[in-house]
Amino acid sequence: MLTILGFVMIATFLVLIMMKKMSPLAALVLVPALFCVLVGKGAHLGTYVLDGIGDLAPTAAMLMFAIIYFGVMIDVGLFDPFVRVILRFCKADPVRVVVGTAVLAAVVSLDGDGSTTFMITVSAMLPLYRRLKMSVLVMTCVAATANGVMNTVPWGGPTARAATALELDAGDIFVPMIPALAVGLLFVFLLAYLLGRRERARLGVLTLTERGAEDGAEPTVGAGVGSADGAYEAAGAARGGVAVAGGAGGVAGPAPDGAGSASDGADPGGGAAGAAGGAGADAHVLDPARPTLRPKLYWFNAALTAALLTLLIMQTLPIPVLFLLGAAIALTVNFPAMPDQKERIAAHAENVLNVSGMVFAAAVFTGVLTGTGMVEHMARWLVDAIPDGLGPHMALVTGVLSIPLTYFMSNDGFYFGIVPILAEAGAAHGVSDLEIARASLVGQSLHMSSPLVPAVYVLVGMAKVEFGDHTRYTVKWAALTALVVLGAGLLFGII
């Protein structure tokens, strides 16, 4: 019974948010609370929730101070030069924009932390997507999938958990998987290219205006404010702007408002409606004349960020402590006056509240799923359902199961609850623990879009897209990427 109710609870949650019948926050709280009562353990709901909150509180603290830290770095202009480089590379070409998003997300993912990756990627790329009226869902899809592949670095969560659960060396798990993961990353770049081609076909051929080229002005993001069209046109006219040449009808002019449907790449956050909601914010965030810029402190902020990321990779201190210290230093040095500090904190309070609230709501879901025993019964049922004839192929089975299971449950639940069971079953047929551990990494490209991953709420929150829209758009591509990694692993004899 617990097995059935566990699957039904997950399915109910996904249906409600994908059909937009409930907000993710409400669904994460109310659905598990209802099912906790249905299994006859309503009296223990408080305990389950507090246990879940206790597990996720450090993550919530990390995200809260990380958002403040990177928000301040954006305010003071740390990423502005990088954005200008991206703009020069992209040349208003949607294909280059999407591929650039994939490359940026992959490089930043080397720090092993998804939330950091999404904050930097969205901060750098979102204004460009808004300005060109591209689908923001393309950005969230590519960023999440690239980060999922790169999240397998030894200092990232999945590999470390697999090594701990099976008492193996993280390097022994990761290094042989590099060829398969490299193929997966190349597939992400190919996917970015294809999605960019689709955006180019939807929007037309975008080029820098002649006026901007003649003036020699560098294109900067967010020169316009106001409505969607106003932000788009003003940004283009003021600084080497963007025009559409030869769109769907072969007529020069601005990109069509709200062109395309959800099925062909458009989304509420990528068309005129989304631009209207986000253009104003994007316009001032990277405005080269904004009063929060601190050009004299640029190298200090760059050194502080580099030191923070280095300490994060070295795991010198717990990640929440690092970001707490970093946020305090950044605020104090860049905005010594108390009113300015309060203003900067208030400016990022909405993102902090949305993300941290979502993390604590997810704690209710994971707390009930674990506390009631649903996740354990689901895992046992899945393992028992594996035919004995597949025993010698348990590594392949593990790779296949990792795709849905790491989406429907936390990494802790999968690596500490299910992987040891799979390793035990594989050992009976001569399959080594190392093969099981490597195969367990396959599903990470899909895992990064799971509703149980706090970092994904940073991604959709900063991009201002609905989680349900992101899920519908991304799941198929992320699952396909995982299958590519699995196929490469089998082809190279790694799995």
Cα 310 to Cα 113, 143, 304, 305, 494, distances in angstroms: 12, 22, 10, 8, 30
- Confidence (pLDDT) at 229: 35
Tokens representing 271 are 């068309």
Cα 5 to Cα 32, 39, 384, distances in angstroms: 10, 8, 18
Cα 484 to Cα 164, 401, 404, distances in angstroms: 26, 14, 15
- Closest by CA to 18, choosing from 204, 262, 193, 195, is 262
Tokens representing 282 are 């994007």
CB 326 within 8 A of CB 312: no
In whole angstroms, give the CA distance from residue 159 to residue 459: 22
In whole angstroms, give the CA distance from residue 277 to residue 130: 10
- Confidence (pLDDT) at 142: 96
- Confidence (pLDDT) at 316: 81
DSSP tag of 76: H
Per-residue pLDDT of the chain (495 residues; tens, 9 = 90+): 888 888 899 889 888 887 878 888 888 899 999 999 998 898 999 999 998 888 878 878 887 888 888 889 888 988 788 777 777 777 778 999 999 999 999 988 877 778 878 988 888 888 889 888 899 999 999 999 999 999 888 777 788 888 888 888 888 888 899 999 999 999 999 999 999 999 999 887 665 443 343 333 444 433 333 333 333 333 333 333 444 444 433 333 333 333 333 333 444 444 333 333 343 444 445 567 788 899 999 999 999 999 988 887 777 888 889 989 999 999 999 999 999 999 999 988 887 887 788 788 888 888 898 889 887 788 778 777 878 788 788 899 999 999 998 888 778 778 877 888 888 888 888 889 999 999 999 999 999 998 888 889 889 988 999 988 999 999 999 999 999 999 999 999 888
Find residue 206's DSSP bridge partners: 244
Using left for φ > 0, alpha for ψ between -120 and 50, and beta otherwise, residue 204 falls in left
